Amino acid sequence: MKHKERIEQAIKALQERTFYAPYPENPKAYDAEADAQGKEAFQKAMSNPFVGLNEEGNTGFIGEEVSPYMMVGLGVQYPQFSIDTIMSRAKEAHAEWSKIDVEKRADLLIDMLDAVSKRFFELGYATMHTTGQSFVMSFQASGPHANDRAMESVALGYQELTRYSNEIDWVKPMGKFDLKIKKNFKSISKGVGLVIGCSTFPTWNTVPGVFANLISGNATVIKPHPKSIMPIAIVVAEMQKVLVENGLSPYTVQLAVDTVAKPITKDIAEHKDVKLIDYTGGTAFGDYIESIPGKTVFTEKAGVNSVILESVKDPKAVFGNLAFSFSLYSGQMCTAPQNIFVPADGIKTAEGHLSYDEVVEGLSKAVKGLAENPKMGAFVLGAIQNDNTKSRVNDTIQALNASNLEAEVAHPEFADARLLTPTVLGLDENDEHWKEECFGPIVFVVKSSDPLKHAAEMAEHKGAITCLCYSTDESYMQEVEHTMNAVFTPVSFNFVGAAFVNQHAAFSDFHVSGGNPSGNASFTDALYINRRFVWVGNRYA
Amino acid sequence: MKHKERIEQAIKALQERTFYAPYPENPKAYDAEADAQGKEAFQKAMSNPFVGLNEEGNTGFIGEEVSPYMMVGLGVQYPQFSIDTIMSRAKEAHAEWSKIDVEKRADLLIDMLDAVSKRFFELGYATMHTTGQSFVMSFQASGPHANDRAMESVALGYQELTRYSNEIDWVKPMGKFDLKIKKNFKSISKGVGLVIGCSTFPTWNTVPGVFANLISGNATVIKPHPKSIMPIAIVVAEMQKVLVENGLSPYTVQLAVDTVAKPITKDIAEHKDVKLIDYTGGTAFGDYIESIPGKTVFTEKAGVNSVILESVKDPKAVFGNLAFSFSLYSGQMCTAPQNIFVPADGIKTAEGHLSYDEVVEGLSKAVKGLAENPKMGAFVLGAIQNDNTKSRVNDTIQALNASNLEAEVAHPEFADARLLTPTVLGLDENDEHWKEECFGPIVFVVKSSDPLKHAAEMAEHKGAITCLCYSTDESYMQEVEHTMNAVFTPVSFNFVGAAFVNQHAAFSDFHVSGGNPSGNASFTDALYINRRFVWVGNRYA
């Protein structure tokens, strides 16, 4: 096995949950020419049919991506296929792929990741101009961080799929004689898996399911969001290249593109030959996906993440850390906090007591300061992926008769960029606005009679992917950990400096617990792999 | 950790899938007095309130078990409780039990299994006179084999629950400095689990879920079949004793008894605080259990198991082996074959060609020979657990205008025993009778144009727990293994002598694959444990 050492290293990291990053996140760790080459490749790709995907048998070319920075269509066109074509190819590819042993599958999948890593910069620009993330975030999220998560799937898959003897002689002493039976144990893949991508993290949220499917022997169809195709198209092109180079069907992994006006997701999801579905996106559609009978489903839906502010050492450091977490990609991360629960009578700090109003003011100022800092502002905020996000946030702001900071920030490179700086709004606990997800750059500072109770209730009923708690009281911290963990929500305590609640590191942090309404699956626990195949044991007398 | 060595040995066996039986199946391996003592204990228990279960707060005593051997009621009465009482006790016990670390939980659970093993003979008699199994089978199935399966849950649970570091210092090099975060990883139990027992295997099918719940930190309520309570009551009594001896709540595991006339299963299953349900029984009720929203469900439902007869070396040995598998416990095992698919033009044997009719005749004769053998007959067949099984089988026989062997067998010890020897019926592939489950001592020898196709279709659409294939053709065997495995059904090949398809050995054979309609779970794969808890990671700056 070619990549045995890398797989073993990854498995070890996964078990110990220590820092491990096979694909470095720092752009400077890569070839000096790579950035310029990647930018050029991206620019060349615009206004052209996408190059590198298998095109045979297509029914046409479509594409309607719009850069949130340039506010122009990218003009990239992707080959479109009928669902019948896609599914019959997937079934045939599954028959071939499922016969390959897990060692070989792991080697091929790692070859694919290595091939993708050669295009990290191009991936970065493609992600930037489809999602609105800043370039560095685009590079990291769609490049190394996504590859790391994919590698995590491969490593855990390899571990789970090799956990039993392949063949044994089973010998049972029967007194006068031994009963001998030869047995083999086979992991049987479920068939064809569909992975439904989202617009904001087109590779990071997609590749874990894709690589988990593939390591388990399943063929995979990827249905990207019609506004964020290019990043995953680059990944699929590299995967298909490795497949073909190895004499295998490129249809082991296929891209099924559609348009906003004519979506095909339901038709594929309900197709009788689709056995597995991975989904990232809104809760309503996720609930529908979970309800389709006879499918094995993995979802990451929406959550409403809380911050519990009980007491702090250094308010400035805390407000700065929170401002960054609110602002990073304009609150469009599934891990970003929405509700900041502050006791009605304020908080203790090392510098004295802060009233609730002073906390709201401190947070607002920190957010404003970050937004107006020319070295941070636009580069932290990125752009708004979807017009709807902008109008929904603005509607909420108007409904609450408040104002935002929008006018005060401009992007130094892209004059037309769709920007919206985060708004910090103080609300009473009796207000209803904080009790639903409000996706985008808006946070509610809730004057709360019981921050922990409110945070736990939101996690239990609306779901939560993260929870951030600031407290200097050991026993309160224990209570928060216990109470939030009981609703299957992880807690981060007293993050300041370079530790941000938004960040979930591959090989160490579980992403989504799978235990509350924010999703039914986790990157990457044993269920994420084991639900994709079935153990069968055969016996020979 | 007291039992660390035993856990490690069990984990090793589970991975290697070699023979391992911590509780010997041979009654002679136990104390010479134990049999007589067990019999006496069972006889003393009859016509009395059951001794050993926590009785506090009961609303009365109920019990309506009938011995299929004596055809008289056992008269054993069990304490009954309101569902409110049971559930509030379970929730409280869960709060306590979930705080105990996994090492201590494993030690306590193994102590419980050791305590149960002291009562294997009493368990044997209780099982015999509730299920109708022969004594030796009762002893083995409810005693050592059940304990082995429970130990399997504990061992795999221990392995899964300790697979990650509890606490680590995560250090990420950031160039100019290191980002350091302390992390802990916690397995959070889901809460209270309900385990619904069946009438034929009251402990074997119940304890795997019970011990899997408990090792994962969940409290458990057992709802036994009202006609098969005593065996699991003995187990629960021993478990509660160990809990109390260790200063823990006896309500960590509770028995919730009911009657056929006033069932309580749905009320408990739908209770908001029941988070997990394990179920063994018929398909219709199993489908209902799977449909209850918001529960983690593990089912073993009905299947229709096939034998594929393609070619054999020694027809006599094959017919003898099959006759035993049909007859063992009168076909009331979920692993027993129902449909024997024979090519329309017969089979090749080492002794020449056998026509389809000759195969039917050979099988009938072998079954008749076994039934009429005074040293085998009644001791292999046991008795029929439920009157309905007997009438359903007789109805089918009458509908097909056939006859059975019933009159020819009597039980040497129990003149009133409810017996029904297996009937072997030849059917054309166009007949509809073999296309549904017909539970009990009846097998259909189907004249088939394509035995493998028929077996695979039944497994895919009706479910199958076993498949037995006889063939001397290597390439056909490979085709059978591939095709049946693809519908998630294990295949046993050419079993003769002491190897029987009905037997699934703990630590080696997966029982039910979970991939076809016979059930959604498997004893004991990683899913069986991991679905009972959720990993949550907390981070401290």
Q: H or E segment at A374?
A: none
How many domains in chain B? 2
> What is the model's pLDDT at position A404?
65
Residue where a domain terminates, one of B276, B301, B326: B301
State the Cα–Cα distance between residues A129 and A230, nearest whole angstrom: 9
Average model confidence (pLDDT) for chain B? Answer: 96
Same domain, A289 and A310: no
Q: What is the per-residue DSSP string for A26-70?
A: -GGGS-TTHHHHHHHHHHHHTTSBPSSS--TT--EEE---B-TTT
Q: Which residues of A touch B517 (CB under 8 A)?
A: none
The answer to whether residue B197 sits within a structural domain is yes
Tokens of A76: 């990239």
**Which residue, B205, B105, B189, B117, is CA-closest to B155?**
B105
Quick one: closest CA in B to A469, which residue? B540
> What is the model's pLDDT at position B533?
98
Same domain, A385 and A291: no
User: What CATH number does the domain containing B431 carry?
Assistant: 3.40.309.10
Least confidently predicted of A517-531, B157-171, B397-411, B517-531: B397-411
User: Model confidence over B412-444: pLDDT tens digits?
Assistant: 899 999 999 899 999 999 999 999 999 999 999
The CA distance from A485 to the nearest CA of chain B, in Å, is 7
Same domain, B297 and B314: no
Q: Which residues of B touch A174 (CB under 8 A)?
A: 498
State the Cα–Cα distance between residues A175 and A177, nearest whole angstrom: 6
Quick one: closest CA in B to A531, which residue? B527
CA angle (A133, A139, A141) in 5-degree steps: 70
The CA distance from A462 to the nearest CA of chain B, in Å, is 14
Confirm if B30 and B136 have CB atoms less than 8 A apart: no
Cα–Cα distances in angstroms (integers) from residue B541 to residues A323, A342, A490, A494, B489, in the given order: 17, 20, 14, 6, 50
Strand-pairing partners, residue B312, are B349
ipTM score of complex: 0.97
User: Model confidence over B453-478: pLDDT tens digits?
Assistant: 999 999 999 999 999 999 999 999 99
Same domain, A321 and A276: no
> What is the model's pLDDT at position B406?
55
**Which residue, A345, A370, A374, A372, is CA-closest to A358?**
A345
Quick one: closest CA in B to A515, which residue? B534
State the Cα–Cα distance between residues B361 and B366, nearest whole angstrom: 9
Quickly state the pLDDT bin for B165 (edges 50, 70, 90): very high
Same domain, A333 and A251: no
Nearest to B535 among A489, A510, A541 (CB): A510
Confirm if A148 and A507 have CB atoms less than 8 A apart: yes
Same domain, A432 and A406: yes
Nearest to B534 among A18, A188, A514 (CB): A514
SS3 assignment, position A482: helix
Same domain, B226 and B331: no
The CA distance from B330 to the nearest CA of chain A, in Å, is 24
The answer to whether residue B528 sits within a structural domain is no
The answer to whether residue A224 sits within a structural domain is yes
Residue where a domain terminates, one of B301, B327, B353: B301
The CA distance from B58 to the nearest CA of chain A, in Å, is 31
User: Model confidence over B235-253: pLDDT tens digits?
Assistant: 999 999 999 999 999 999 9
Same domain, B279 and B333: no
Nearest to A535 among B181, B498, B510 (CB): B510
Task: Choose, out of A460, A502, A536, A540, the residue to mutate when testing the contact with B (most B CBs < 10 Å).
Answer: A536
* Average pLDDT, integer, range B302-331: 97
Are A488 and B188 an interchain contact pair (Cβ–Cβ within 8 Å)?
yes
Are A163 and B508 an interchain contact pair (Cβ–Cβ within 8 Å)?
no
> Is the confidence at residue B368, as pLDDT, over 80?
yes
How would you classify the pairing of strands A167-173 and A178-189? antiparallel
Q: Please state whether the peptide bond connecting residue B396 to the residue before it is cis, i.e. omega within 30 degrees of 0.
A: no
The CA distance from B332 to the nearest CA of chain A, in Å, is 22
Are B17 and A170 an interchain contact pair (Cβ–Cβ within 8 Å)?
yes
Same domain, A367 and A477: yes
Same domain, B275 and B335: no
Are A18 and B526 an interchain contact pair (Cβ–Cβ within 8 Å)?
no
> What is the model's pLDDT at position A409?
78
**Which residue, A172, A175, A498, is CA-closest to B539?**
A498
Confirm if B240 and B54 have CB atoms less than 8 A apart: yes
CB-facing half-sphere around the CA of A128: CA atoms within 13 A:
26
> What is the model's pLDDT at position B421?
86
Identify the burial level of A26 via C-beta atoms within 10 angstroms of its C-beta, where 0-12 means exposed, 13-18 middle and 19 or more buried.
middle
The CA distance from B486 to the nearest CA of chain A, in Å, is 7
- Classify the C-alpha dihedral A88-A89-A90-A94 as positive or negative: positive
Domain that holds residue B9: 4-301
Nearest to A17 among B26, B168, B526 (CB): B168
Q: Which residues of B touch A526 (CB under 8 A)?
A: 160, 163, 526, 530
User: What CATH number does the domain containing B293 carry?
Assistant: 3.40.605.10
The answer to whether residue B519 sits within a structural domain is no
The answer to whether residue A409 sits within a structural domain is yes
Residue where a domain terminates, one of B274, B301, B328: B301
The CA distance from B177 to the nearest CA of chain A, in Å, is 10
Q: H or E segment at B332?
A: none
**Which residue, A464, A449, A396, is CA-closest to A425?**
A396
Same domain, A266 and A289: yes
Per-residue pLDDT of chain A (541 residues; tens, 9 = 90+): 999 999 999 999 999 999 999 999 999 999 999 999 999 999 999 999 999 999 999 999 999 999 999 999 999 999 999 999 999 999 999 999 999 999 999 999 999 999 999 999 999 999 999 999 999 999 999 999 999 999 999 999 999 999 999 999 999 999 999 999 999 999 999 999 999 999 999 999 999 999 999 999 999 999 999 999 999 999 999 999 999 999 999 999 999 999 999 999 999 999 999 999 999 999 999 999 999 999 999 999 999 999 999 999 999 999 999 999 999 999 999 999 999 999 999 999 999 999 999 999 999 999 999 999 988 888 999 999 999 999 999 999 999 888 766 556 788 899 999 999 899 999 999 999 999 999 999 999 999 999 999 999 999 999 999 999 999 999 999 999 999 999 999 999 999 999 999 999 999 999 999 999 999 999 999 999 999 999 999 999 9
Quick one: closest CA in A to B482, which residue? A188
Task: Choose, out of B11, B14, B17, B488, the residue to mutate when testing the contact with A (most A CBs < 10 Å).
Answer: B17
State the Cα–Cα distance between residues B413 and B423, nearest whole angstrom: 23
Same domain, A63 and A212: yes
Are A499 and B539 an interchain contact pair (Cβ–Cβ within 8 Å)?
yes
Nearest to B490 among A181, A536, A541 (CB): A536
